[in-house]
Structure 1
Amino acid sequence: MTSTPTNIAPPSVPREGMRLLKGVSLLVASICALPMLAVAIAALTGGTQTVRHLAETVLPGYAGTTLLLVVLVTAGTFAIGVSAAWLVTMTRFPLVRVLEVALVLPLAFPAYVLAYAYTHILDHPGIVQTTLRSVTGWGPRDYWFPEIRSLGGAALMLILVLYPYVYLLARAAFLQQSGSTFLAARALGSSAWVAFFRVSLPLARPAIAGGVLLAVMETIADFGTVAYFGVQTFATGIYTSWFSLFDRSGAAQLALCLLSFALLLAMLERAQRGGAKYHDPSRRADVMPPVPLRGMHAVTALLVCGLPVVFGALLPIGVLLWMGIGSEQNILSPRYLGFIRNSLTLAGIAAVVTVMAAICVGFFQRLRPGRLSRGAAYVARLGYAVPGGVIAVGLLVPFAAFDNQLDAWMRATFDISTGLLITGSIWLLITAYLVRFLAAALGAYEGGQAMVHANMDAAARSLGETPLGTLRRVHLPILAPSLLTALLIVFVDVMKELPATLIMRPFNYDTLAVQAYRLASDERLNGAAVPSLVIVAVGLLPVILICRQVGRPR
């Protein structure tokens, strides 16, 4: 008995279109794999002297600090995200309808922007400590106050902006659960808390684990917050080795350590999850009616859900506006208009290129499911687990070598210097954004693609439509909302991205994120508030769309 291989197109499908789609998908996967391979090769060929020096000096500190930061952020995002999701889904208390939407707002903030705002009010010359000294008459050494520029402060900033990842996925999982399972546990004598921990939480675990993993990946990729607070992690070590010490081998070896750590986390989460799957919402028997809360229970729920919104969004916006009004930065000046133009140009081009790449990879996997297409999609998703600094090093190492070889050959052959054709270009930076954020675009595209039934493809094929024609005339019109969401997500992520932009940007080509980081590094926090506010304002666009989706009635 023989079977037809699934990776061979039927005769009715023009092979030219399939070859083009296959070639583009494999090219995208190769580009995503290039930084990781380049980092590994550069690190392994850099000699053992640098490795021994790093192991004896900074490597244990980098590893310990990064691991502790991950543990703190994991615990914080899990506690806030899961508790808030459960309360707004399963209970009713004052302002619950407002809070279930407002809990998403901190997602618009880069963590380093929160760091600037809270440093301004909590540092020694800030309004909080100044007021404390004026009221009590204490001197600078007469009291203890938590240090915001610390590992704990960095963890708090990251928790406040990353818990919405856990909240969104946990809330979606709780909404999809059947109320009969929870009610059955209660009928068997379990208290509400016991039923939550033994029934609802295990059912939502795959979604919660996915949200926590996203938060962890963002944590190990963060550079702006930890660098500003003086916390020595792998991300700051890569930047210091590359720019301050001019040690390319050391930067590559630190990047390989961070890459290994990120991929290990992803593999551990996948292995631990095992066969767990999301509950199918189409099979739920009923929806459990929300429980109204009264008295102290309602106040507690209001505080649990309201404080993250206050400290993660409302208070930082107020502080940044106050700082920006008192600064000397003119957002309408030609210099700032240049920053805005550069940021919008990079974000716009990167968003379009990334979404187009996601369409090619996702559609190829749909048309030809098999090892090749699944492998291409898997490699394309790996970029989200790779911090921006690692991607920057992984792209600069091979392309800088290519530019130098080409320049040497042109000098020897034609006596012409080509300089850095690729390394100093905007397109290499766009490539870094593509690798970093393709997973987000691919996830949004595949989420919308699930709504396109396979019968639609069969009907289009039976009418003589080519694969690319089916994509253009059938899929894309249906997927327009998902594609718009993907565009906005990538656009805002690029606006906020800092480490890759700092390392790879062309000479004298600064963005709003770079300007905010530069001003904050010079302790000009009032000035840093202005570009930070613009970044937050742009970040609110996709968050508003997400809020509209979250706020729809069940």
Structure 2
Amino acid sequence: MTILIHVDMNQNLSRIGARLGALLVQAAMLLFAALLALPVLALAVSWLQFDAEALDVLRQMAETVLPHYVRTSLLLCGVVAVAVAAVGMATACAVTLFDFPGRRVFEWALLLPLAMPAYVVAYAYTDFLQFSGPLQVFLRETFDWRGRVFPEIRNVWGAAWVFTFTLYPYVYLLARTALSERATQLMEAARLLGAPLSRRIREVALPLARPAVAAGVALALMETLADFGVASYFGIQTFTAGIYKAWLVMDNRTAAAQLATLLLLTVAALLWLEHRAQRRMRFATTRGGRAHSAEAQPVRLRGAARWGAWAVCGLPVLLGFVLPVVFMLRPLIGGWEELPWRSFAQWARNSLWLAGLAAALATLAALVLAFAQRRQPGWLTHGVNRVVGLGYAVPGAVIVVGLLLPVGWVQTVAPHSSVGYWVTATVLGIVWAYLVRFTAVALQSVQSGYARIPASFDDSARMLGVTGLGLMTQVHWPLLRRSIMAAALLVFVDVMKELPATLVLRPFNSDTLAVVTYQLARDERLGEAALPALTLVLVGLIPVILLSRTLRSKA
């Protein structure tokens, strides 16, 4: 009897311990989700404090700068949307529906502009094409011309050019996947019904790829609206530039919060459009796999058509990657001995330190969240992962305002509080911003790894007595190592290139490669900016190489 009571007490204690552990895990998940959602929550709370002063600020902006911000952003987004859709769809059709020499090279080369930060491309073209640049100087000296040869590139149209040839890979990648997975069988059926090639492309391939194009355009527009480097350097008054101007120049937190809210609502609308397009892509998926008949293979091009395909695929790579790299190499090679190597080493160390720390924390958080969702799926884990997953869509400018607004409120209530110091003068604030933005990247990679692990593995491990952390360390970890390494690498690269949040929240005397590239280019020291800029490009090539290898393995 005593033994039975003792066993029953041990079982009750173990149940209580398990419940307490589960409650602690749930509380930690809710706290983490709240910390990542703080920028959006802070903006929402700021509107609850809407008073006569805030209304007056909004009225003044509506009468002065807001219409200009709206017109400029709409014009820029409209041009970029049309351009990236045209370039991305044309290149996807060329490499998917047609066969020509060099097609395999273009399949991965068209992804290279993903490695180029948009602000680096802007600096490269400005250095080469401006009035005092080498091209205009050469033309004036050769042909004895006077004045400006080319129009000024620092305007909305120049920014649209930059964004088009750095962001079209979003459309290209999604449209290429949609065409390769869905178009072959229906193109074959249309051919058997007597439709010529032009009609098959117009009435079969293009409608099938339309949801993918819409999703890619939405992603490109989110990047365009979130950009700060190109808008600031070109002097374009977009919402992001207006947010920084309101906060840092005008010292008006209310105006910055209102502009950040408008930007966030616009991005939310684009995110809804992207999700809607993704659902349509899944609905359009054909059954039965890929057609393997010879008629369903890409059409082989000959003669002038081959040259046309080379032009369609080669120009985006040339304009979005090759020429910017060449333009940045010119001042780098010419001033090799005058480059600030000692400062560059310090900038590189700061970038590596911040990127490594953020990558480790984001990957660890993603692993814990993905494991919790797999072990105990429910509304809580699903909701937390949704909140974390939406962080990548929040622009850096919104994150900055959303983190600094609570700091200002705390400083107002408790002037002697050290919260402002910890957020703005240490790595806490910048790493916090990185986790808000990039934990979603790590989570997506880890979840894709978990999707490849059958649930039967977990059941077999439990039958053998392996549960809890043992299940993660002994069963999941060996199968997830590649996904975890990919997650850490993607976050590392994104943090290395991140500019808006780093520019404001970095600790004192800890400039990163992205920040000094922006500062040197802003001061017209483009020759010195070439070294950190090209370093960022080299780092950005890593995920592009991994992505191209993944696409080849699926082909």
3-state DSSP of counterpart to 1:277: helix
2:46 is equivalent to residue 39 of structure 1: no
Displacement after TM superposition at 1:37 (Å): 1.2
| Residue 396 (structure 2) aligns with | 388
The CA distance in 1 between the partners of 2:17 and 2:89, in whole Å, is: 47
Structure 1 counterpart of 2:361, one-letter code: V
| Residue 29 (structure 1) aligns with | 33
Q: Which moved more, 1:468-477 or 1:247-256?
A: 468-477
Any residues of structure 2 matched to 1:259-270 within 5 Å, and which? 259-270=264-275
3-state DSSP of counterpart to 1:508: coil
Cα 1:271–1:309 shift into 2, 3 Å = closer
* Contact 2:166/2:320 (<8 A) preserved: yes
| Residue 527 (structure 2) aligns with | 526
3-state DSSP of counterpart to 2:424: coil
| Residue 480 (structure 1) aligns with | 481
The CA distance in 1 between the partners of 2:460 and 2:205, in whole Å, is: 41
Structure 2 counterpart of 1:395, one-letter code: L
The CA distance in 2 between the partners of 1:495 and 1:348, in whole Å, is: 9
TM-score when normalising by structure 2 = 0.90
3-state DSSP of counterpart to 1:466: coil
| Residue 341 (structure 2) aligns with | 333
Cα 1:317–1:507 shift into 2, 3 Å = same
Structure 2 counterpart of 1:514, one-letter code: V
Give CA-to-partner distance per residue, 1:296-349, whole Å, 9 cap, x none. 111111111111111111111111111112347866733221111111111111
Displacement after TM superposition at 1:276 (Å): 4.6
Cα 1:158–1:467 shift into 2, 3 Å = farther
The CA distance in 2 between the partners of 1:160 and 1:408, in whole Å, is: 49
Structure 1 segments, 4+ long, off by >6 Å, are: none
* Contact 2:430/2:505 (<8 A) preserved: yes
The CA distance in 1 between the partners of 2:84 and 2:49, in whole Å, is: 39
RMSD in angstroms over aligned alpha carbons?
A: 2.5
| Residue 289 (structure 2) aligns with | 284
Give CA-to-partner distance per residue, 1:497-516, whole Å, 9 cap, x none. 11111111122221111111
2:66 is equivalent to residue 64 of structure 1: no
3-state DSSP of counterpart to 1:283: coil
Structure 1 counterpart of 2:511, one-letter code: D
| Residue 512 (structure 2) aligns with | 511
Displacement after TM superposition at 1:242 (Å): 1.2
| Residue 5 (structure 1) aligns with | none
The CA distance in 1 between the partners of 2:247 and 2:38, in whole Å, is: 19
The CA distance in 2 between the partners of 1:445 and 1:86, in whole Å, is: 31
Query: Identity, % of aligned pairs?
Result: 46
Displacement after TM superposition at 1:167 (Å): 1.9
2:182 is equivalent to residue 177 of structure 1: yes
2:312 is equivalent to residue 304 of structure 1: yes
* Contact 1:407/1:419 (<8 A) preserved: no
Higher helix share: 2
Unaligned runs of 5+ in 1: 1-10, 410-416
The CA distance in 1 between the partners of 2:530 and 2:244, in whole Å, is: 24
Give CA-to-partner distance per residue, 1:213-243, whole Å, 9 cap, x none. 2211111110001110111101111111111
The CA distance in 1 between the partners of 2:178 and 2:172, in whole Å, is: 10
| Residue 108 (structure 1) aligns with | 115
| Residue 376 (structure 1) aligns with | 384
- Given candidates 100, 108, 112, the residue that maps to 1:93 is 100
* Contact 1:25/1:360 (<8 A) preserved: no
The CA distance in 2 between the partners of 1:23 and 1:401, in whole Å, is: 25
2:463 is equivalent to residue 462 of structure 1: yes
2:355 is equivalent to residue 347 of structure 1: yes
The CA distance in 2 between the partners of 1:114 and 1:439, in whole Å, is: 26
* Contact 1:206/1:278 (<8 A) preserved: no
2:161 is equivalent to residue 133 of structure 1: no
Structure 2 counterpart of 1:381, one-letter code: G
The CA distance in 2 between the partners of 1:329 and 1:339, in whole Å, is: 18
Cα 1:358–1:199 shift into 2, 3 Å = farther
The CA distance in 1 between the partners of 2:465 and 2:397, in whole Å, is: 47
3-state DSSP of counterpart to 2:75: helix
The CA distance in 1 between the partners of 2:462 and 2:347, in whole Å, is: 48
| Residue 6 (structure 1) aligns with | none
Count of residue pairs the alignment pairs up? 536
2:501 is equivalent to residue 493 of structure 1: no
2:79 is equivalent to residue 79 of structure 1: no
Any residues of structure 2 matched to 1:389-404 within 5 Å, and which? 389-402=397-410
* Contact 2:212/2:277 (<8 A) preserved: no
Q: Which moved more, 1:69-78 or 1:270-279?
A: 270-279
Displacement after TM superposition at 1:553 (Å): 7.1
Cα 1:482–1:73 shift into 2, 3 Å = farther
Structure 2 counterpart of 1:396, one-letter code: L
2:147 is equivalent to residue 146 of structure 1: no
Displacement after TM superposition at 1:550 (Å): 3.0
The CA distance in 1 between the partners of 2:286 and 2:414, in whole Å, is: 57
Structure 2 counterpart of 1:491, one-letter code: F
Displacement after TM superposition at 1:286 (Å): 1.7
* Contact 1:99/1:306 (<8 A) preserved: yes
Structure 1 counterpart of 2:30, one-letter code: L
Displacement after TM superposition at 1:59 (Å): 0.8
The CA distance in 2 between the partners of 1:32 and 1:454, in whole Å, is: 29
Give CA-to-partner distance per residue, 1:487-526, whole Å, 9 cap, x none. 1211111111111111111222211111111111111111
Cα 1:190–1:245 shift into 2, 3 Å = same
Structure 2 counterpart of 1:97, one-letter code: R
The CA distance in 2 between the partners of 1:239 and 1:358, in whole Å, is: 30
3-state DSSP of counterpart to 1:421: helix
Q: Which moved more, 1:448-457 or 1:42-51?
A: 42-51
The CA distance in 2 between the partners of 1:453 and 1:279, in whole Å, is: 27
3-state DSSP of counterpart to 2:423: coil
* Contact 1:24/1:360 (<8 A) preserved: no
The CA distance in 1 between the partners of 2:491 and 2:352, in whole Å, is: 12
Structure 1 counterpart of 2:106, one-letter code: L
Structure 2 counterpart of 1:350, one-letter code: A
Cα 1:295–1:260 shift into 2, 3 Å = same
For CA contacts below 8 A with separation 6 or more, give which structure has more relative contact order: 1
Q: Which moved more, 1:196-205 or 1:523-532?
A: 196-205
The CA distance in 2 between the partners of 1:418 and 1:258, in whole Å, is: 27
Any residues of structure 2 matched to 1:399-438 within 5 Å, and which? 399-402=407-410, 405-406=413-414, 408=416, 420-438=421-439
Displacement after TM superposition at 1:400 (Å): 4.0
| Residue 412 (structure 1) aligns with | none
Q: Which moved more, 1:216-225 or 1:283-292?
A: 283-292
The CA distance in 1 between the partners of 2:98 and 2:341, in whole Å, is: 50
* Contact 1:21/1:360 (<8 A) preserved: no
The CA distance in 1 between the partners of 2:229 and 2:178, in whole Å, is: 32
* Contact 2:513/2:536 (<8 A) preserved: yes
Give CA-to-partner distance per residue, 1:26-79, whole Å, 9 cap, x none. 233212211011123225525211111111111111112112222222222222
The CA distance in 2 between the partners of 1:345 and 1:231, in whole Å, is: 32
Cα 1:295–1:15 shift into 2, 3 Å = farther
TM-score when normalising by structure 1 = 0.90
The CA distance in 2 between the partners of 1:265 and 1:507, in whole Å, is: 35
* Contact 2:156/2:236 (<8 A) preserved: yes
Cα 1:199–1:432 shift into 2, 3 Å = same
Cα 1:20–1:163 shift into 2, 3 Å = farther
Displacement after TM superposition at 1:18 (Å): 4.0
- Given candidates 212, 222, 225, the residue that maps to 1:220 is 225
